[in-house]
Amino acid sequence: MNTQAAIKQQAETHLLEAAKEFQKCMQCGKCRSVCPVFKELGNELYVARGKNKLAEKLVSGDLQITKRVKDAINECLNCKTCSANCPAGVSPEHVVLRLRWYITTQEGLGFFKALIFRHLLWHKWPITLGAMFIGLAQRALFGIGPKNPVRYLFPLFGFSKRRFFPLMALRSAQSQYPEVIPPKKGPSKGRIGYFTGCAGNLIYTNVVKSVVDILTGYGYEVVIPKKQKCNGTPVLANGDYDGARMFMEHNFDLFQRHDLDAIVVACSSCGMALKKEIKVFMEESSELQAFTEKVYDINEFIEKNIDIKKEELGSLPYKVSYHDPCHMVRGQGISEQPRKLLKMIPGVEFKEMKDAAVCCGSAGSYCITHYDTAIKINNHKVENIQAAEVEYVATGCPTCVMHIQDNLLQHESNEKMRFVVEMLADSLRAAKTI
């Protein structure tokens, strides 16, 4: 079969899969009451039931791919709130991802997406170098304050001029470590692969340091394969199934070569990709099964495997709340472990915020392409954070940190976003345990 025919056949398979999902829908409308996008925009086409209908009409040929159809399909955070609440077991986010892929096969990926996913992300060095230059520019241009005139250039790159960006690292995390890092003392308790993710590597390098310090401090050998690439989730979310497959197969093969006892991640989307989404792209096998069972979110891994004693923790005298990233709580079923770790820290007064598990609106590239709606959704998160009266909000997802911190700054609110693992490392360092 030639390539074009194969792509056409794949596209039809995806569309039929999407429509099959639709057939389960009972039209009850429950998804309307939970979808964060519907809550802000109130358009039936943007809610799960509407998107399911779109899939059906595209299959039957009653509908063509128009701008309105594409807009509706792109109005989704992949937050999984609808599937978590759907009484019929429909996974509307899978319908959406398949429809995006279908559209890509019909219309092509487009110049910019092809450049980003197939070249810049794939070859990795261009984004590493780009991040370094942006980091230099951020520092040279005296920060990112609201009065900085550089903000007027943001729209040229597709960003709102209101936006506050995090500082990019001058040196990537992966370049700061050897590929294999031995335990700080004693024989190794196990060999742990660390998938840093792009954000950990290029922005939140302190998270990588925290993970490495905790694991090596508690006797593990840590392996950070240098050739690791993006987990594939942003590529998948933009309708590039074949690109996502390339990334997932690459990371699978790479980590398989290192004879690991476990693989940890400190990014909820990376965790979901390596535990679950990879199964959509790779054939079922005992190797794949063993690989996905080895993947842990860092909070999950520490809570399960490391016995941290009270006297090993130093005091952090702060009021702290926790935000559940969608890909952590609904994507991986993790909510108790990070809270447990935070509550263990002496001095921390843990305060649960209202609607902690409701999406913050970041959703990877959604908060770039749909910034105004993403901020409207996030305004509820900011209100709930302010009502909780805390100094820190801890979480486990880089894009949540980025988006919530941006909006907190826009509200001139003093709360700071942090990762749970960073706070835990601070506490262990305060007691000189690591």
Q: What are phi and psi of 296, to 5 degrees?
A: -130, 140
Name which of 348 and 374 has its Cβ closer to ligand SF4. 374
Show Cβ contacts of residue 128 under 8 Å, excluding neighbours closer than 6 positions: 172, 201, 202
Name which of 75 and 406 has its Cβ closer to ligand SF4. 75
Task: Return d(Cα 343, Cα 351) in angstroms, integer.
Answer: 10
Name which of 275 and 327 has its Cβ closer to ligand SF4. 327
**DSSP 8-state code for residue 334:** -
Is residue 264 within 8 Å of residue 195, measured between CB atoms? yes
For residue 149, the minimal CB distance to ligand SF4 (Å) is 35
Task: Return d(Cα 29, Cα 118) in angstroms, integer.
Answer: 38
Is residue 25 within 8 Å of residue 18, measured between CB atoms? no
Name which of 199 and 326 has its Cβ closer to ligand SF4. 326
Both structure tokens of 264: 């940890």
Q: What are phi and psi of 427, to 5 degrees?
A: -65, -40
For residue 362, the minimal CB distance to ligand SF4 (Å) is 12
Is residue 361 within 8 Å of residue 76, measured between CB atoms? no
Residue where the block lists tokens 């005139």: 149
Q: What are phi and psi of 263, to 5 degrees?
A: -125, 125
Binding residues for ligand SF4, per CB under 6 A? Answer: 25-31, 34-37, 48-49, 52, 76-82, 86-88, 90, 92-93
Both structure tokens of 1: 């079969």
Name which of 49 and 229 has its Cβ closer to ligand SF4. 49
Name which of 366 and 392 has its Cβ closer to ligand SF4. 366
CA dist 407 to 162, 168, 370, 404, Å?
9, 18, 14, 5
Name which of 15 and 35 has its Cβ closer to ligand SF4. 35
Is residue 117 within 8 Å of residue 232, measured between CB atoms? no
> How many of the other CB atoms lie within 10 Å of CB of 421?
27
Name which of 28 and 153 has its Cβ closer to ligand SF4. 28
Both structure tokens of 250: 């690459």
Name which of 84 and 409 has its Cβ closer to ligand SF4. 84
For residue 78, the minimal CB distance to ligand SF4 (Å) is 5
Task: Return d(Cα 403, Cα 364) in angstroms, integer.
Answer: 9
As a whole number of Å, the end-to-end CA separation of the chain is: 58
Name which of 27 and 414 has its Cβ closer to ligand SF4. 27
Q: What are phi and psi of 393, to 5 degrees?
A: -120, 120
Alpha helical stretches, state H, 273-397: 278-281, 286-294, 298-305, 326-329, 336-344, 366-369, 371-388
